[in-house]
Amino acid sequence: MAIAFLIIFMEVNVSTQKAEKDGKVDLATFYVGEALCGMDILKIQEINKNMEITSVPNSPDYVVGVLNMRGRIVTIIDVCKKLGLQKSDITDTRRNIIVNSQSEYIGLLVDKVAEVVPAEWRKVTPPPSNVRGVQGKYFEGVYKKDNALIAILDIEEVLKDESVS
């Protein structure tokens, strides 16, 4: 447990000073399939509903395609497919969450965006090896809010390229 906390604290050092200072973090939450996931809102560049995504031939199925975001070509990843979850049928609530990963803008396509949840890092528990059927490696931890369990995504892990060349 102590080791898990240490790891989480190291991750926190990577994110903004604010979280470091008072251990608080605002989690943007969203649905990936039926799973409620979350991430540090400070890592989000923007959220848009631009669905004019150009598909890229010959790419893995979790790559939805590319998007022209004000002149910048951004790759859009289907988080549901990447995590191996069941997709939701409702499409009009879909959104792109644009993050900056290793100096590149990438979009995470999610099924529905929910509210921002203020949280504290000390209350985040490490992820089990399997979160609702998804490998634990994709998550930084789990946060309990009221009756809901928010699975905090490890963005870098989600975005890791696993295609076989």
Partner 1 sequence: MLIDHETTDIYIQETNQSLAEIEQNLILLEDMGAQIDMSLAKRVYHAMHVIRNGASLLALSKMKELSQKIENVLGLICTNRLTPNPEVINILLQGIDHLYQLIDRIYSNDEMDIDEQSVLLTGLTSAVLPDNIKQSVTEVRDIPLPDGKHAFQIPELNLIQVLEQGKNIYILIFDLIKDVQNKNNTPFNFVRYIQQHGQIIDSMFDIQSVGTLEEQEYGSEEMPYFVLLASSISDKQLKKALDLASHQIQQVTIDLDDLIHPTTKQFQQGMTLSIANQSRKTDNKKRVDLLNAFSCELKFAMDCLSNQSLSVGKKRVQSVLNSLQDLLNQENSVLASKILWKIGRNIRDYAYQSNLQIKFYLKCGLIKMDHRILYRLIEPLTNIIIQMVRSAQTNTTVQICLKMTTIDHMIHMSLSFVDPQVLKQETYLNLDIAEKKIQALSAEVKQSFELKAGLNIAIRIPQKIIIIPGYHIVIDENHYIVPKFNLKECLTNLDPLKWRKEDSSIIFNHNEKNIRIVELSNKDVSYFKNKQSLIVCEVGNKCFGLATDSTDIFEMDVVCQPLGKQLDSNPLIVANCLLDDGQIAFVLDMGFLLKMLDNNKHSTKTI
Residues that bind partner 1 (CB under 8 A): 54-60, 63, 66-68, 70-75, 77, 101-102, 104, 106, 159, 161, 163, 165
Distance of closest approach, residue 52 Cβ to partner 1, in angstroms: 9
Strand-strand pairing, 72-78 and 63-69: antiparallel
Nearest distance from residue 109's CB to partner 1, in Å? 12
101: Cα within 13 Å, side-chain hemisphere: 18
Q: Give the pair of three-digit tokens for residue 148.
A: 């809901």
28 vs 65: CA distance, rounded Å: 24
Least distance from partner 1 to the Cβ atom of residue 97, Å: 15
CA 41 – CA 47 distance, rounded (Å): 11
